[in-house]
Amino acid sequence: MNVQVTPPPPYKVQASRLAAPGSPARKYLIGAAGLLIALGGFWYFTHSAKPPARRMMAAPVKVAVVEQRNMPVIERTIGTVIANSTVSVNARVTGQLTRAFFKEGQMVKTGDLLFQIDPRPYQATYDNASAAMASAKAKFDRYTRLKGQNAISPQDVDDAQASYLEARATAESARLNLEFTQIRSPVNGKTGPILIQPGNMVASSSSANASATPLVTINEIQPVKISLALPQSDLPRIQEMARTPQGVTISMNMKEMGAPRDLTAKVDFISNAVTNTTGTIELRATYPNTDLALVPGQLVNVVVSLSEIPNAIVVPREAVNTGPEGTFVYTVKDGVAQQVPVRVLFDDSIHDAVQGNLKAGDKVIVDGQIRVVPGGKVNVSAARKKPAAGAPPQTSGRRGPGNEG
């Protein structure tokens, strides 16, 4: 007897298993489909002949125009105003201070009376010394006549002469002490506060109390000096400029302090040594200060002219960028940015003198470079305004001639 057994249909069983909720095969199938969709989308966005719209947007930038002009090689630094001379006025004799003849902060001239010390003790001493001198003089004259008559020995005449000379020196010393009771200004200048008020006893500065408090301090402020320090690398240019007829000059930016104009002065002192702790050399310039615009201790922004680069290609400092292959700028022509390598000749903290394939009138990008791609389109939103003449530096960085970065 043949018995036929019909097997269950395999495809339907497998389909039912795939359709069963939560089955592993169903999960694998859904994951594979999702992976294919993701790969297809990635291929579309990276290989499509039409890039996304965001890749076609022009980068917004600001530009400035390249200039060709003589560019001064300058250094910007901080200068300190110092008095041409500072004098501490002390008493030269001991006594009671009776009067002051000036007001604090007053301008005085050489020889002006400042203080009076009680003169009476010194007047009495001088009168006594004058009387002793007159007596010694009379005795010397009398002995001189007697010597002519051979009525006295030469030794007595010599002793009388010595006594007279000693009395005359004593009288002169007493006269000077009496004169020192009037304290006069040794310089032209401006007085500070009175440090010892009238009524107090003052000691002689030549006595054991040599460190006594001065009566007043006078600063000579017409003229004043401006002290500044420059890097020792500038020393060759400083020395070369000092040998020229015009010499080294400085300009002080006073407009930012409310003054109507900037001030200029000529350097008349170059230190004989470089400060080893800072690697700088000190320069000093003298300014007449007839208008009393500068005060000792004041800090001023100083620009020092050292030389000049003729017919330099000048761009704003912000236009120069640094990359792996050196410095470069972005130029804009017909709305397209191009990268142009340049070499920085000098940087004055506002402009750079550069050497490269640039000419006057070219437009360089000064803002928005981070979004610029060489050969990509840019959208010029506005042109950068030129800084005002004599504007203070925007940064403390400094690059000198021949420095490429």
**CATH superfamily of the domain spanning 76-83+219-308:** Efflux pump adaptor protein, beta barrel domain (2.40.30.170)
- Taking domain 91-117+184-214, whether its CATH number is 2.40.50.100 is answered by yes
pLDDT score at 142? 92
Q: Which of 189, 276, 279 is nearest to 235 (CA)?
A: 279
H/E element, 137: helix 120-148
Whole-angstrom distance, CA of residue 95 vs CA of residue 46: 99
Whole-angstrom distance, CA of residue 137 vs CA of residue 131: 10
Residues 6+ positions from 247 with CB-CB distance below 8 Å:
241, 266, 267
pLDDT score at 392? 47
Per-residue burial over 359-381, b = 16 or more CB atoms within 10 Å of its CB, e = otherwise: eeebbbbbbbbeebeeebebeee
pLDDT digits (tens, 9 = 90+) for 197-212: 999 999 887 654 556 7
Whole-angstrom distance, CA of residue 192 vs CA of residue 28: 95
pTM of the predicted model as reported, rounded to 2 decimal places: 0.65
Lookup: tokens for 95? 């006594």
Backbone φ and ψ for 24, nearest 5 degrees, come out as -60, -40
Q: Do the beta carbons of residue 372 and residue 365 sit within 8 Å?
A: yes
Residues 6+ positions from 259 with CB-CB distance below 8 Å:
293
pLDDT digits (tens, 9 = 90+) for 141-150: 999 999 888 8
Whole-angstrom distance, CA of residue 21 vs CA of residue 378: 56
pLDDT digits (tens, 9 = 90+) for 237-264: 999 999 988 889 999 988 777 777 889 9
Chosen CATH of 119-180 out of 1.10.260.40, 3.30.420.40, 1.10.287.470, 1.10.3720.10:
1.10.287.470
pLDDT at 48 over 70: no
Domains of the chain by residue range:
59-71+310-383, 76-83+219-308, 91-117+184-214, 119-180
Whole-angstrom distance, CA of residue 331 vs CA of residue 65: 10
Q: Which of 17-31, 129-143, 303-317 has the lowest mean pLDDT?
A: 17-31
pLDDT digits (tens, 9 = 90+) for 258-295: 777 889 999 999 999 999 999 999 999 999 999 888 99
- DSSP, collapsed to helix, strand or coil, labels residue 159 as helix
Please give the mean pLDDT across all residues of the chain: 84
Q: Do the beta carbons of residue 19 and residue 26 sit within 8 Å?
A: yes
Whole-angstrom distance, CA of residue 395 vs CA of residue 75: 12
CA dihedral 310, 311, 313, 318 (to 10 degrees): 50
Residues 6+ positions from 41 with CB-CB distance below 8 Å:
none
Distance between first and last Cα of the chain: 104
Q: Which of 56-60, 65-69, 122-126, 397-401 has the lowest mean pLDDT?
A: 397-401
Residues 6+ positions from 190 with CB-CB distance below 8 Å:
105, 106, 107, 108, 218, 219, 221
Angle between helices 10-19 and 24-47 (to 10 degrees): 70
pLDDT digits (tens, 9 = 90+) for 73-84: 888 899 999 999
- DSSP, collapsed to helix, strand or coil, labels residue 100 as strand
Whole-angstrom distance, CA of residue 303 vs CA of residue 9: 99
CB atoms within 10 A of CB 242: 14
pLDDT at 137 over 80: yes
Using pLDDT thresholds of 50, 70 and 90, give the confidence band for residue 54. very low
Using pLDDT thresholds of 50, 70 and 90, give the confidence band for residue 225. very high
pLDDT score at 4? 37
Of residues 180 and 396, the one with the higher pLDDT is 180
Of residues 336 and 49, the one with the higher pLDDT is 336
pLDDT digits (tens, 9 = 90+) for 357-402: 999 999 999 998 888 999 989 988 866 655 544 444 443 334 444 4
Using pLDDT thresholds of 50, 70 and 90, give the confidence band for residue 40. confident
pLDDT score at 389? 42
pLDDT at 166 over 90: yes
> CATH top-level class for 59-71+310-383?
mainly beta
Residues forming beta bridges with residue 226, ordered by sequence position: 81, 285
Q: Do the beta carbons of residue 377 and residue 58 sit within 8 Å?
A: yes
